[in-house]
Chains A and B, each alone.
Chain A
Amino acid sequence: MTRNPTLGQIVTKVRSKNAGPFWVTIDIFCGTEDAFTRVTEGLATDRVARLFAVEPQLLKRFDIADLRVVKFSLPRPVIQGAAADRDMHGAQYAALLEELALD
Chain B
Amino acid sequence: MATRVLVPSGVLGLGFDADALARGVDMAPDIICIDGGSTDSGPFSLGAGVSKYSRAATRAEWRVLMQARARAGVPLVIGTAGTSGTDSTVDWMYDITTELAAELGQSLRIARIYSSQPQDRIAAALRAGAITPLTPAPECDPEGLANIVALAGAEHIQAALEGGADIVIAGRTTDTATIAALPLMRGEAAGACWHGAKIAECGALCSTHPTSGVIMVDFDRDGFTVEALHPDARCTPHSVSAHMLYENSDPFRLYEPGGYLDVTAARYAALDDRRVRVEGSEWVPGPYTVKLEGARIAGFQTTIMAILRNAHYVANAQAWVDRLNGFLAPEIERRMGLTPDAYSLDFRLIGVNGALGPIENRKGDPVEVGVLGIITAATQAEASEIGKLINPFVLHYPLTDDEELPTFAFPYSPATTDRGALYEFALNHVMALDDPMSAFRLQFDEVTA
Binds A, one of B141-149, B319-327, B355-363: B355-363
A16: min CB distance to chain B, Å: 10
Known: A25-B245, A81-B425, A83-B298. A71 touches B359 (CB 8 A): no
Determine if B42 and A62 form an interchain contact, defined as CB atoms under 8 angstroms apart: no
B231: min CB distance to chain A, Å: 25
B residues near A1, Cβ cutoff 8 Å: none
The contact of A60 among B42, B246, B247, B249, by CB within 8 Å, is B249
Determine if B245 and A93 form an interchain contact, defined as CB atoms under 8 angstroms apart: no
Docked CA distance A23–B348 (Å): 23
A58: min CB distance to chain B, Å: 8
B residues near A95, Cβ cutoff 8 Å: 355-356
- Quick one: closest A residue to B355, CB to CB? A92
The contact of A71 among B135, B251, B357, by CB within 8 Å, is B251
A residues near B376, Cβ cutoff 8 Å: 83
B299 at the interface (CB under 8 A from A): yes
Known: A18-B40, A20-B39, A66-B241. A83 touches B346 (CB 8 A): yes
Tell me what chain B mostly uses at the interface: helix, strand, loop, or mixed: loop
The contact of A83 among B41, B238, B344, B357, by CB within 8 Å, is B344
A93: min CB distance to chain B, Å: 7
The contact of A23 among B249, B354, B360, B423, by CB within 8 Å, is B249
Determine if A62 and B346 form an interchain contact, defined as CB atoms under 8 angstroms apart: no
Determine if A22 and B428 form an interchain contact, defined as CB atoms under 8 angstroms apart: yes
Docked CA distance A96–B425 (Å): 26
B residues near A52, Cβ cutoff 8 Å: 359
Determine if B359 and A53 form an interchain contact, defined as CB atoms under 8 angstroms apart: yes
B242 at the interface (CB under 8 A from A): yes
Determine if B249 and A25 form an interchain contact, defined as CB atoms under 8 angstroms apart: yes
A residues near B362, Cβ cutoff 8 Å: 99
Docked CA distance A67–B135 (Å): 27
B422 at the interface (CB under 8 A from A): yes
Residues of B342-372 whose CB lies within 8 A of A: 344, 346, 348, 354-362
Seen from chain B, the residues whose Cβ lies within 8 Å of a Cβ on chain A are 39-44, 134-138, 238, 241-242, 245-252, 293, 298-299, 344, 346, 348, 354-362, 374, 376, 422-425, 428
A–B complex contacts, Cβ < 8 Å, 19 sampled: A17-B247, A18-B40, A19-B247, A20-B39, A21-B428, A22-B425, A29-B242, A60-B250, A67-B242, A71-B245, A71-B251, A75-B136, A79-B425, A81-B42, A81-B43, A83-B422, A86-B354, A89-B40, A92-B355
Seen from chain A, the residues whose Cβ lies within 8 Å of a Cβ on chain B are 17-23, 25, 27, 29, 51-53, 60, 62, 64, 66-67, 69, 71, 73, 75, 77, 79-84, 86-89, 92-93, 95-96, 99
